[in-house]
Structure formats: C-alpha cells, structure tokens
Amino acid sequence: MIITRSPSRISLGGGGTDLPSYYRQHGGFVMSAAIDKYVYITLHHNFFDEGIIKYSQTERVQRVEEIRHPLIREALILTGVPPAGLEIASMSDIPAGTGLGSSGSFTTALLEALHTHNKSIVPKQELAEQACHIEIDLAKEPVGKQDQYIAAFGGITCFEFRSDDRVQVSPLRLSSEALANLEDNLLLFFTGITRSASEILADQDRRTRSMDQDMIDNLHFVKELGYQSRSALEAGDLRKFAELMHVHWEHKKKRSRAMTSSSIDEHYERARANGALGGKLIGAGGGGFLMFYTEDKTRLRRAMRSEGLREVRFRFDFQGTAVVAQS
C-alpha cells in the first residue's frame, strides 16, 4: 500500500496572474502558503483483474481509456500505470470547491503515488509541471499554476511565472517572529458555499485572451500588490500586509459579478468592524473561505461565530507533496 498527501493552500498575493493567458504575455507572480489540510491518495493491489477507483464516485474499469475521471485517467496514462489490479482512493480534509486549491493537491498527490508505485523519484518541480500539464493542457481546465506548485513544494513560497512557461521558485524570507505572528493571526472561516471555480476563471481567461484592458489592468495591479505584499512580509510589517490584502480584495471583486455576494460582503464588513485589519475570499471567488488577518482573534472569532461561520484552524506545511506510508 502507498499513501501520499498534498497540502491545500492559501494565496497571500498575486492570485490570478498564474493563468497562462496572462503570464505568457506579461509574466505572473504569486505568493502562496501551504497549510496542514491535505488531500490523501491511497493506492494498493486488489484481488481482481479490474481497477477500482474511488473518489466522490466509484469506477470499476479494465482499461485506462474507460476511466471517466479526467485527472486520474491522464495521470495513469502519463505514468504508464495500468489500472487493472489496482485500487485508487482519495480523501480530503477540506471539500472541493472551497478555494484552497484542492484540484492541484489531488493531482500532485496522485502523481506522487503513481511514481512511487513505479519506484521513480521525481523532483518537485517536475511533479508540479506534470500536474499542470494534466490539468491545463490535457483536461483543458481554465486554471493557473500556483495550486500545483505550492502543493508540490509546500512552505510559504513565491512563484515567478515566465512568459516561456518557466517557473522560478523562491521561499519567502521571513523572520521567525514574523512567521509565528503570521501563522497565529491569519484566520480562515468557511462561508458554507461550495462552487466550481471554472466559470469565473474561464471568464477571466477569455477576457484576458481577448485583450480586455480592464481585466489586464486589474491583473497588473494585483501582481504589483503581490510584490508589495512580499516586501511587507519580509520586512516584518504584518499590518501593511493586511492593508494590502484588503486592497487586493477590493480590486479582485471588480473582475467578475460572481466574485462575491451580498452575504459574503456582509460577513466581510462585520469582520472588518470586529478586528480584521484585512482579508479576502480565497480562490477564484463566489464562495469557499474568507481569510482575515487580525491582532484581536477572540473578538473576530466571536463575531464570525455569531454569523454562523465555521473556523478552520491551520498551521503552515513545509513538506509539500510527500509519501506518508508505504508497505
């Protein structure tokens, strides 16, 4: 049996500039943090001649071409692993459609399990690129590259997305005090809304490809905010980082009418009135998790509980995609 896991992520700056439609023309920058909420993949041999694949559905197949799940099908093809005689199952600490990069985590964990099955050691950069190739090129999902990269590498990491598709990976240079304060003072609250990011991201992708100047200017501005956020964190100025996160959210909302809702706006304003120095909705928008930076955690938690929001407490993950058991 092989068990692998990949962390979920929170975006700290520059989100949206990692889509190929933008970075291939202008270059992109995203700063992300991996957190200790994981997608797990288990892989082991069964006693049958068929492959058994379990996710939100169960598939029984003889040949790889029969698999309906596109990411699993393409990962098996890429690694050359036939499904017959194998059982593959996935589990997740956080449900899909909540903005924490679960698809990228799923694909990297799956690839790690299949490479381990093949007795292959694949560097993190190659693992991330393979996951991007499957999701973007083969499955034709309108997604960026940050989810696969932060899942593979872990940590609090900066990614420069070059126009030639190269990705430069750099750990954020944080003092131990700033790291502890950032981890303690960032809070995540589930809005209770799950959604597919595809529609919002597809609209962004379409508008960027058609050279919609409003969209491109918005992404230019968000990328610059990402650089400023990196500088603020590396200087230990967490209040400045929180202010920039608020500015980011105000501009992110302008990308799409589906980015937010009246209930999300109400939650956000209540948080701002109860100690949140800055915040934003994680992911493509429309639902999922609200993230806030606060120096008054008790007050903010009380206010969000009164709104009916559930907090998910987390720590940063510095391991990235890994094999956690093998026998």
What's 221's domain CATH number? Answer: 3.30.70.890
Question: 215 lies in which domain range?
Answer: 176-311
Find the radius of gyration of the CA atoms of the chain.
Answer: 20
Closest CA to 24 of 201, 144, 172, 125: 144
CA proximity to 16, closest of 212, 291, 245, 220: 220
Report the predicted TM-score, pTM, of the whole model to 2 decimal places. 0.95
Domain final residue pick, 149, 173, 197: 173
| Number of domains observed in the structure of the chain | 2
The residue among 254, 252, 255, 237 whose CA lies nearest residue 293 is 237
> Closest Cα partner for 289 from 105, 146, 100, 7?
100
Q: Which of 271, 310, 265 is nearest to 292 (CA)?
A: 271
DSSP 8-state secondary structure symbol assigned to residue 14: -
Residue 101 domain-assigned (yes or no): yes
CB of 285 closer than 8 Å to CB of 196: no
Same domain, 121 and 144: yes
Query: Do 180 and 167 share a domain, yes or no?
Result: no
Domain boundary among 144, 173, 202: 173
Regions of the chain where pLDDT drops below 70: 196-198, 284
pLDDT, position 301: 98
| Residue (of 52, 311, 14) closest to 159 by Cα position | 14
Statement to judge: residues 210 and 285 lie in one domain: yes
Question: pLDDT tens digit string along 152-161?
Answer: 999 999 999 9
CB 155 within 8 A of CB 41: no
251 and 143 share one domain: no
Nearest residue to 282 (alpha-carbon basis) of 270, 292, 274, 291: 291
Residues 6+ apart with CB under 8 A from 50: 60, 61, 62, 83, 84, 85
In a domain, residue 323? The reply is: no
Same domain for 88 and 16? yes
CATH of the domain at 164: 3.30.230.10
| Structure token pair of residue 249 | 């959210």
Question: Do residues 200 and 152 share a domain?
Answer: no
Query: What is the DSSP-derived secondary structure letter of residue 235?
Result: T
Instruction: Kindly report, residue by residue over 87-123, the tens digit of the pLDDT.
Output: 999 999 998 878 888 999 999 999 999 999 999 999 9
The C-alpha atoms of residue 10 and residue 164 are separated, in whole angstroms, by 26
- Per residue in 173-196, is it b (16+ CB within 10 Å) or e — as a string? ebeeebeebbeebbbbbbbebebe
Whether residue 209 sits in one domain with residue 163: no
325 located within any domain: no
On whether both 181 and 275 belong to a single domain, the answer is yes
Q: 160 and 19, same structural domain?
A: yes
Question: Do 171 and 156 touch, CB atoms closer than 8 A?
Answer: yes
Regarding whether 13 and 54 lie in a shared domain, the answer is yes
Length of the chain measured in residues: 327
Supply 8's token pair.
Answer: 């979920």
Residues 62 and 128 in one domain: yes
Q: Which of the listed residues 128, 149, 173 is the one where a domain comes to its end?
A: 173
Query: Do 290 and 247 share a domain, yes or no?
Result: yes
